[in-house]
Amino acid sequence: MADLPGFEPVLRKFPSWYTPSKNRSHLEGSRVLRGLHPTGDPLGPEGETCGSCAHRVTRGYGSKYHKCSLRPITGGPATDIRIKWRACARWSATAPTAATEPHTRG
């Protein structure tokens, strides 16, 4: 990744809250190394996680998959979130309002 044009990592190794996976995109990992949330948003409050966010929803397609209601929700792994990930800047402890209802495919 270090030889990609315009890629300037802030970190040299992944933080403890992020574990790269062969099933996850390289883009996601490059975002984390640049000091961003895996979704591309800025990082949120220290000590909070996606699991403690009001925007986290669980979808069942045979198993439970955690998704963010602020993003389009699909049946694929690209939109999955991990509950141990550090929260993004859009983290909220309160229930989502009507303006942040989940996007659904339809």
- Element at 30 (helix H, strand E): helix 26-33
Are the C-beta atoms of residues 4 and 10 closer than 8 Å to each other?
Answer: no
Residue 51 has pLDDT above 70, yes or no: yes
Render pLDDT for 18-37 as a digit per residue (tens, 0 to 9): 888 776 778 888 888 889 99
Q: pTM score > 0.85 for this model?
A: no
* Angle value at C-alpha 8, between 5 and 13, nearest 5 degrees: 125
List Cα–Cα distances, 106 to 18, 49, 64, 72, in angstroms. Answer: 32, 29, 20, 11
Domain ranges of the chain: 26-100
Helical (H) or strand (E) element with 33 = helix 26-33
